[in-house]
Amino acid sequence: MDYKMEVHSFYQMVPNEAYEHKGILQLLLHFRWTWVGVIAKDDDNGERFVQNVLAEFPPNGICFAFLERILTVYVGNLFNLLSWMQKIYHFLMEHKANVLVMHDENIIHMRWLLYLPEMELVTVEPKGKVWILTVQLELTALPYQRNWDIQTIHGALAFTVHSNQVSGFSQFLRTRNPFLTTEDGFIRDFWQQAFDCVFPEQSVKKKADNIGEVEQMNCTGEEQLENLPGPMFELSMTGYSYNVYNAVYAVAHALHAMQSGEWKHRAMVATGRLKLQDLQPWQLYHFLKRVSFNNSAGDEVSFDQNGELRARFDIINWLTFPNQSFKRVKVGMLDPKAPPEKMFSIHDKAITWHKDFSQALPISVCTDSCSPGYFKKAQEGKPGCCCDCIPCPQGKISDQKDMDDCSKCPEDQYANNGQNLCIPKDQTFLSYKEPMGIGLVTVALFFSSFTVLVLGTIIKHHDTPIIKANNQSLTYSLLVSLLLCFLCTLLFIGPPGNVLCLLRPISFGVVFTVAVSCVLAKTIMVVLAFRATKPGSGIRKWMGKRMARSIVFCCSLIQAGICTVWLATSPPFPNADMNSMTKQIVLECNEGSVSMFYCVLGYMGFLALVSFIVAFLSRKLPSNFNEAKFITFSMLVFCSVWLSFVPTYLTTKGKYMVAVEIFSILASSAGLLGCIFFPKCYIILLRPELNSKEQLIKRRQ
């Protein structure tokens, strides 16, 4: 087994990239970027990144606008390579996705792609994009790229391994000079490439070997590292530098632990000496996994059980400038050791976006956001992020953007016209203060007063023939019951309560039944009166006040029994109807048992129908004593009103149902009052000459 490879693979000075993937996901979700392009290197690392991203992003609502591969080795001529790059460039710049996730170990490929406009190989002007760069990328450049514009990636967001400034690091770099450290070949090579110069001894050799070529300047040692563009060299400690710094100290701590611990004792016993050069790399494993120390910058360096560095990621905002310099601004952090709710943090206001976005938050979605009042519906055949905005159905709302569905308002609220807000419903009932309530009360009081006047007139002229001829006791009972019918309508106006809800239908049912029973009794008594005048008729013994009262009492008792059963089984009760009216809560009296309510109406209708039939059949009797003709008209009005009441009542809502019921009571009662008593009052008050015994005898003859 190659223990060097084992230690190298087990201990990595870069945190687990799975945390980086979660950080990118959190970043996209934070800014609501759901339509994202992915550019990955065409190798095993790029494929592994794509597979991990494809697994995590779609379940969280992130869709891939496209997935492009960066070719690292291109087989073919330069023309084909440039054609391929032109195609990719046009696709990136013209695509609607404004957020691009770049995964590559080398930014050189990306810089070539973005340099095409300067080479005048593309016709599309570069557009502002939000580049999200992974931890492998650093803003570097090859010597020939030192003057290439980097403004395109201004405002990019990059995940980097957390770094800190080590005291004395910048001063140390400034002291590096190839003339002072001649044995360090790396510095000499870097110096020549960075400053485009050659050392004197190499300059002579190049002149001899390359006659005719452009002569390069000699390196003097006076060149300053801080004068190099940022992509060429940074004096500050980058993530890579910081990792190397920590790695060296980690190995040093492991070697120190090995030399001073158990291994030193074993080596001394076996050989009598201990040399680090004689130790095998695998022997360092035992100590390296236990390393934990604070470096000079104050950061803790340790490894987890999988041999991965316990470190956090910094989220960096790259700011580029026309002079090819750039600045890293730390705007957030991803700390795997923090609690889940605090693992990701970012400071939005500290971010500088590309100038094309005018410092407004960039938007990267497949379709425009659905405003409140609409919900998203996926477009057929397209990714889930591509949706149409559909208006909410009637009665439902969406109060946020990009809702997947509309929600129904609570029963006591209704949706506004914009379908984006629930508004509390107003409570409504037939009130004394509103015009309709005032009008109905006025009509009820008018007819009540008129009934009182009629009753007074009848009482005043009770000894006249026309009153005596039509059963005084039934006349009084009918007028009093009609008066109560008019007054009982006042119970239907105002806020419903427990007592009112019980009194409304019961008083109406019983009082109205008494009135109809009186009409029925008057009709029967008229028929019996003429039957009794025939010679040998035995009906005379049935005539009298007792029979009339018995009819009224029995008919009213049956209705009282129906009402008693109604109250005992399912009585009326106050109710708040929240569904029949869109914008109002109707305070009403619920009938309790609808069948019992219609039984009450049906029984009154039955009595009215019997009265109508009897009166109709007796309409041709002599008119001296005959009220049948007037009762026929009154019952016709009564039945017409209540036949039209049922469909009207069922089709109206809210307080208008109560108004329909009141109107039906008033209209039918007024029909009885007018048809039966108006002719009598007309004769008593305006034609008194007709109200005499002689006239009655004359007409009989």
The pLDDT averaged over each successive group of 10 residues in the chain (701 residues) is 37 67 90 88 81 83 84 61 78 85 73 74 81 74 64 84 80 79 76 80 54 66 77 72 82 80 50 57 73 80 73 85 79 86 90 88 87 89 85 90 89 90 90 91 94 91 77 86 92 89 87 89 75 52 69 90 91 88 87 89 88 76 62 83 84 86 90 86 82 58 46
User: Can you tell me the distance from the alpha carbon of 12 to that of 611, in angstroms, rounded to the nearest whole number?
Assistant: 106
Indicate the length of the chain as a whole number.
701
pLDDT of 268 reads: 45
The tokens for 568 are 């005992």
The tokens for 26 are 């959190």
Q: In this structure, what are the phi and psi dihedrals at residue 181, rounded to the nearest 5 degrees?
A: -125, 70
What are the structural domains, with CATH classification, of the chain?
12-161 (3.40.50.2300), 164-232 (no CATH), 238-307 (no CATH), 374-424 (no CATH), 435-533+541-700 (1.20.1070.10)
The tokens for 144 are 């020939």
User: Can you tell me the distance from the alpha carbon of 489 to that of 81, in angstroms, rounded to the nearest whole number?
Assistant: 94
The tokens for 527 are 């028929």
| 94 touches 126 (CB < 8 A) | no
User: Can you tell me the distance from the alpha carbon of 560 to that of 553, in angstroms, rounded to the nearest whole number?
Assistant: 10
| β pairing state of 407-408 and 396-397 | antiparallel
Question: What's the burial of 435, exposed, middle or buried (CB within 10 Å: 0-12/13-18/19+)?
Answer: exposed
User: Can you tell me the distance from the alpha carbon of 248 to that of 243, in angstroms, rounded to the nearest whole number?
Assistant: 9
pLDDT of 276 reads: 60
The tokens for 453 are 């006047």
pLDDT of 312 reads: 80
User: Can you tell me the distance from the alpha carbon of 469 to that of 334, in angstroms, rounded to the nearest whole number?
Assistant: 106
pLDDT of 442 reads: 94
Question: What's the burial of 374, exposed, middle or buried (CB within 10 Å: 0-12/13-18/19+)?
Answer: buried
User: Can you tell me the distance from the alpha carbon of 228 to that of 233, in angstroms, rounded to the nearest whole number?
Assistant: 6
Helix or strand holding residue 378 (H, E): strand 374-378
**C-alpha distances out from residue 626 to 417, 471, 532, 545, 700, Å:** 63, 11, 14, 18, 11
Question: What's the burial of 662, exposed, middle or buried (CB within 10 Å: 0-12/13-18/19+)?
Answer: buried
pLDDT of 214 reads: 54
- Check: pTM over 0.85? Answer yes or no: no
Measured in whole angstroms, the distance separating CA 612 from the mean position of its chain's CA atoms is 62
pLDDT of 3 reads: 35
